[in-house]
Structure 1
Amino acid sequence: MKVRVGLIAVEDNIDFIAKVLGEYQEIIVVKINHTKEEELHSLMSEHENSVDVWLFSGYSPYIYATRIPTAHPLFYFEYSGSSLYKSLYLLLKEKGLNVNQMSFDTIKSEEIETVFKELKMSFDESRVIENIENLDKVVDHHKRLYENGDTVIALTCVWNIQQQLLELNIPVERITLAVSSIKATTNLLLRHMEMEKFKDTQIAVQMIEIDSLRNRNNYIDTSDELHHMEMRNVSDLLYYSKKINGSLKEIGPGRYAIFSTRGMMKNVTKDFTEKFSFKSAKSLNLDVVISGIGLGKTAYEAETNSLKALHNAQQRGVGSWYVHFQDKKIIGPLSSSQLTIMDSDQEKYKEISNQTSLSLNTIINIATAMKERDEDTFTANAMANALSIQPRSARRVLMLLEQAGFAEKNGEDQALKQGRPRKKYKIKFK
């Protein structure tokens, strides 16, 4: 599997990152240089069809890009303690600076504290600003500490902040990414893309219900005429089935099932948002078609879900298409300005979200991972893989779930011969 990675980075680190990514045989690097976040919209639009996933050199351009429409997932590199070590070494050893004379941004205070503890140095949290969504506030943070005489140099992970501080004649050092940080994010990215590819091979079943009598303005004189109309409908459905590499099965008067794959169904419905357009249809009119699409690991599961989706479409009325996913999420009606996402467990997940302060999306993703793994026990690493987040963020998720009573410690996993055993947590969403 070859993955085209759209690497969006600034000039001073794009070649370094691309070199590390080049070690992965699965990756084709598409280098996209930028200097200002305002450029991202045009750059991403220009390369939308030449990449499979976006990868940003930092959090600031990533958070800006989340507001830009794209069909591809987004990832960014996190600046960790290992990224800080190199810069600290140069400043402490070669320039003889005191760590208490420095201000920091981006890297989480607990990571900086861990680094300083290992170096047997004290640490003042007031010199760190973690939230960099507002770059002006970050610049003001460094500027205020410098002008008050609390610091003599700023350490930043953001190129734009470095440039602004240089214009203000404030000494600044850019923290560069550690190779280990680049590889950790890249491995998460590849696992995510592999999972998406696996999803595309899932079975999809589309139930279609047609009332042929509605499909004609003029009065039908004979049963032969009605029969010929239904034959033309079948011809149109066979054309549609061919477009999605599927097989058509008649399951009753005016009711049909098409067996295909999630990937093909996703393509023809434009990521499950629109009905397929029968442009060359001889007889079939989408306005009289009721349809339910079901997805699953097995044909039985997909067929069951398609019938549930069809039931939603029937309740909505003639011309409605709904999709029922394996994780119980339901989307519909397709091609409608009132397209909505529902979940049979939505209210339960909302309550868990409220009690844990975790986002509803995170709760749903955890529930989905439990169904896909057929397992309710996770280590921090397993949770990180399931949610495509860093292990430290996964530990926080598990901690919040445990505090609210939705997870409990369930033994330890000695995955490695060396190192501490990994705690296992049993998730309790039922």
Structure 2
Amino acid sequence: MKIQLAVLGSNDFLVLLKTILGTLSHGLPTDEFILHEYKYDRLEDIANVVCETRERIDAWIFSDQLAHDVATMQAVFQKSRVVSRDALALIRAIAPFEQESDGLADHFSIDNMSEEEVQDAIVALRFVKNVYRYQGRLEIASNAFEDLLSFHKVHYQEGRVKLCVTGNHLVFESLQRQKIPTLLLPYRETATSRMMISVVSEIKSEQFKHSQIAIQIVQVSNFNTLMDQDHVFYDIYRTYLKTQGLLLDYTEQVLGTFVSIGNGRFMIFSTRGIVEKQIDRAIHLLHQIT
């Protein structure tokens, strides 16, 4: 079964993705997944895409943290990743700008990067004096765009930074319209392809695990002894039939096969994935038959 992989991002990210998929050297197993590409030009596009497609997708890849945060307001994803920007991506963006701008890059604000990656970049960018990193707050996820935009604007307007570096194209365009010096963090082919390979590998492993045969055995304690007691035979037999009925109902729920092997023993064959998804039903069944 092929993996259904959705990618939601900016146009420049989707262009990069096409380049990666067209390069065999990246090692992506393209025959093992079907890629669904979705571009967003407005935040509303994200909500629309997620609501229309979430049920049939195995994993989501988002081009930036803002897209991910907006999407998670609409749905809970089994598996999702945000494309990371590493220290080298920041260095490639900042270093040429510093040479051309005559010192504007020594104080800047940044988003879509981890603290560790920012610090690694600063070691190489010796001219940098102050960096303000956006960390985001879950409580403002519904207002994430405005909060992110405000983060950069306030730092610039209050003179703490001379440059804003963002990983989101909508924030980049908005800051540029306001004549605020801004750079858009680039994506790196190797980092992006490694992440996609990792996601596909994880899903393949999970699919294999979920397809494994699961056998559940139910044993009625002291069944033969109870059945030999004539004065309670019919009561015990009714209970036995009721138990069998409950087990059959559960077997249907897990799309399994039911086998009665005698002496109060039953076996249910299904798959590990279905059984794990229906674990609450298994617990409920135990309460019913005990």
TM-score range, shorter chain: 0.7 to 0.9
Corresponding residue number in structure 2 for 1:124: 130
Secondary structure of the structure 1 residue equivalent to 2:208: helix
Corresponding residue number in structure 1 for 2:9: 9
Secondary structure of the structure 2 residue equivalent to 1:12: helix
Deviation per CA, 1:118-139, whole angstroms, max 9, x where unpaired? 23334324x3323375433332
Q: Where does 1:22-421 land on structure 2 (aligned, <5 Å)?
A: 23=23, 24=28, 25=30, 26-70=32-76, 72-125=78-131, 127-131=132-136, 134-207=144-217, 237=248, 244=255, 246=257, 248-253=259-264, 255-265=265-275, 271-272=277-278, 292=282, 313-314=285-286, 316-317=287-288
- The percent of aligned pairs where both chains have the same amino acid is 18
Identify if the C-alpha distance between structure 1 residues 263 and 138 changes in structure 2 by more than 3 Å, giving closer, same or farther: closer
Displacement of 1:177 in angstroms is: 1.3
Deviation per CA, 1:229-283, whole angstroms, max 9, x where unpaired? 95xx68x949957983646243534x522122213546xxxx32775xxxxxxxx
**In angstroms, what is the RMSD of aligned CA positions?**
3.6
Corresponding residue number in structure 2 for 1:391: none
Query: Higher relative CO (CA 8 A, sep ≥ 6), structure 1 or 2?
Result: 2
Distance 1:239 1:135 in 2: 46
> CA contact under 8 A between 1:21 and 1:27: conserved in structure 2?
no
Secondary structure of the structure 2 residue equivalent to 1:13: helix
Normalized against structure 1, the TM-score is what?
0.52
Higher relative helix content: 2
Secondary structure of the structure 2 residue equivalent to 1:259: strand
Identify if the C-alpha distance between structure 1 residues 155 and 5 changes in structure 2 by more than 3 Å, giving closer, same or farther: same
Which blocks of at least 5 consecutive residues in structure 2 are unaligned? 221-232
Displacement of 1:178 in angstroms is: 1.3
Distance 1:251 1:19 in 2: 61
The number of residue pairs the alignment matches comes to: 262
Identify if the C-alpha distance between structure 1 residues 123 and 194 changes in structure 2 by more than 3 Å, giving closer, same or farther: farther
Displacement of 1:175 in angstroms is: 0.8
Distance 1:164 1:128 in 2: 19
Displacement of 1:56 in angstroms is: 0.7
Normalized against structure 2, the TM-score is what?
0.73
Which blocks of at least 5 consecutive residues in structure 1 are unaligned? 211-221, 276-291, 293-308, 321-430
> CA contact under 8 A between 2:107 and 2:129: conserved in structure 1?
no
Identify if the C-alpha distance between structure 1 residues 22 and 31 changes in structure 2 by more than 3 Å, giving closer, same or farther: farther
Distance 1:90 1:258 in 2: 65
Distance 2:155 2:184 in 1: 17
